[in-house]
Amino acid sequence: MTEQIPHLPWLRCFEACARRLNFTLAGKEIGLTQAAVSQQIGALEKTLGVALFRRERRGVELTAEGAAYLPHVQAAFATLSHSTQALFGAPRGKEVSLIAPASFALLWLAPRLSGFAAVHPDLALVVSTMQTPADYAVAQADLEIRFGIGEWPGLAAHRITHERLTPICAPGLDPGRPGWQDLPLLAVRGAREMWRDWFAMAGLRSTARPAFVFDTFAIALAAAKAGAGVLLGSRPLIDAALARGEVIRLSDLELQSPNGHFLCMRAGEPPTPARQAMLNWFLREASEGG
C-alpha cells in the first residue's frame, strides 16, 4: 500500500503550493528554494502521471486534477496532525498515568474529575483500570490506587479512604419489614466478603448465604440498585448513590474495616511536579470527605 503513496515531502510541497498558488512563497513556508519546490512538484506530477499546476506568467493555477487532489491531501494531513496531537501532544512532564480498581475509578474518582480539571487545566491524567494484581506490573503507571491495609513492598502508600461497611438495598425491597437479613444477600469476592463479620457485630443471626457473588464492587452495587438483594455497601463508594436515593441503608451500624484505598508511588523516587500535584489533589479530596 505504501508504494502507491507519493513521498510525503512531495505532498507537503504540493499542499503549500496549492494553498498559496506561488512556488516562491510556498518554498519560504516549508524551507525550500523555488528551484527545489519546482523539482518536487515535477517529481510528484511524473509519479501521478498528470499535471497538477498550470504555470502562468504571474504564478501558478491548479489544474482540474490538482484541484480534485488538494482536499484529499489536506484531509490526510489533518488526520495525521490530530492523531499525533491526541497520542503524543501532552507536554512532557505534564502527563500522569494512573491505574486503579474499576470500582474506585467509577464511583470515587470519576465524579471528582471536573473539579480536578478546574484546578489543574494543564495536567493530563491517563486512567486505566486493573482486573488482577498482575495488571499493576504490566501497566507501569506513574501512580497506583491499591485496596488493602497499606503495606506493599517497594511502594509508598498514602491513604485515600477508610472503608466502613453497612447493609444497603434498593428502596423497592420494602426494608421496613422485620427479617430483612433473610432477603437475598449480595457479596463481593475478596476483602469485602464480610457478611459474617457484620452480622456478628450487629448481634443478628442469619443463615442466609450470598445469593450472588461478584468480582467487582461496582457491579454488585448496580445489582443492589436494581433490587437483586441486600449488599454490604462500602463507604465512601456508596455515598453518592445514597445521596441520590438509589439505595437506602438498612441499619445505622457500620463495620469499620482495616482496608481502604491508597495512592501509591515507587518508594525512594522523588516525584515529578506533576505527580506531586496529583498526590496533593488526592489527599485534599480525601480530607474533604473521601
Angle at 173 between CA 228 and CA 289, to 5 degrees: 80
Determine contact, residues 250/169, Cβ cutoff 8 Å. Answer: yes
| For the chain, percent of residues with pLDDT exceeding 70 | 93
> How many separate domains does the chain show?
3
Residue 273 scores a pLDDT above 70: yes
pTM of the predicted structure, to 2 decimals: 0.65
The verdict on 175 and 227 lying in the same domain is yes
Distance of CA 158 to the CA centre of its chain: 21
Q: Partners of 97 in the beta sheet?
A: 126
Q: Does residue 33 share a domain with residue 173?
A: no
Stronger pLDDT, 86 or 262, i.e. the higher one = 262
For the chain, the C-alpha Rg in angstroms (whole number) is: 30
Residues 245 and 133 in one domain: no
Beta 124-130 vs 248-249: how paired, if at all? unpaired
**In a shared domain, residues 155 and 269:** yes
Residues 187 and 251 in one domain: yes
Instruction: Please check whether residues 64 and 20 belong to one and the same domain.
Output: yes
Quote the domain boundaries for residue 133. Answer: 95-162+260-287
Query: Do 230 and 154 share a structural domain?
Result: no
The C-alpha atoms of residue 110 and residue 120 are separated, in whole angstroms, by 15
- The domain that contains 46 carries what CATH number? 1.10.10.10
Residue 144 shares a structural domain with residue 179: no
| 176 and 237, same domain (yes or no) | yes
Domain end (from 55, 88, 121): 88
Same domain for 198 and 143? no
Q: Are 97 and 128 a contacting pair, CB within 8 Å?
A: yes
Planar angle of CA 199, 234, 230, nearest 5 degrees: 55
Which of 57, 88, 119 is the endpoint of a domain?
88
If you average pLDDT over residues 7-12, what whole number do you get?
93
**How far from the centroid of its chain's Cα atoms is residue 76's Cα?**
27
Residues 194 and 234 in one domain: yes
Lowest pLDDT segment from 21-30, 197-206, 234-243: 197-206
Whether omega before 258 lies within 30 degrees of 0, making that bond cis, reads no
Query: Are 252 and 269 found together in one domain?
Result: no
**In the listed set 88, 105, 137, which residue is the last one of a domain according to the structure?**
88
- pLDDT for the residue numbered 36: 94
Q: What is the CATH number of the domain that holds 116?
A: 3.40.190.10
Residue 1: its pLDDT value, please?
Answer: 40
Q: How far apart are CA 183 and CA 74, in angstroms?
A: 64
290 vs 286: CA distance, rounded Å: 4
